[in-house]
Chain A
Amino acid sequence: MQMARVIGDVVATRKDPSFDSIKLLLVQPIGADGRDAGRPLVAVDSVGAGVGEKVFVVRGKEAGLPWHPIEVPADAGIVGIIDHVHVPR
């Protein structure tokens, strides 16, 4: 899993039916220092995250597991909102 910042909303009317009522958010992966790391991607949201929040994102087929047994074709999913990060130095 990786840390990311929610940077936007994605609206899609025509989509795979299993996505109905699932929120799609644009997230920017970040490193331990909070800086952007890599390209933004689209993730399904199962925890009610919003723009500006720091979250953690699971990659791969597991991203669809929160909706089990519905098979959601997602490869990235927000599965937690980060309250605080402590990186000792």
Chain B
Amino acid sequence: MLLARIVGTVVATRKDPRLVSNKLLLARPIDPKGEAEGNYLVAIDTVDAGVGETVLIVSGSSARMASGMKDTPVDAAIVGIIDAVDVSE
């Protein structure tokens, strides 16, 4: 799973009907020190995250195992809001 920072919200009126009640957020992966790295991605929010928060994103087929995402066309879901990362290096 990835650590990422929420950098924006995405509004899409016309979308797959199974995504209608879900919030879409724009996220940027970060390294453990909080530095942005890699490409932006759009993820479905299942934990009520907001802009500026650090989150945990699950990707691939596992994303459909997030709460309420069964049989939906998603490949990235926000499944946790990170309080702290302790790196011992």
Contacts and interface: CB of A to CB of B under 8 A. Distances in A.
Task: Decide if A and B touch, CB cutoff 8 A.
Answer: yes
Interface of A: 7-19, 24, 26, 39-43, 51-52, 60-61, 63-64, 71-76
B82 interface: yes
Q: How large is the interface on B (under 10, 10 to 19, 20 to 34, 35 or more residues)?
A: 20 to 34
A64 B86 CA distance: 23
Secondary structure class of chain B's binding surface, majority of residues: mixed
Secondary structure class of chain A's binding surface, majority of residues: mixed
Nearest to B46: A16
Contacts of A61: 60-62, 65
A26 B87 contact: yes
B27 interface: no
B79 A19 contact: yes
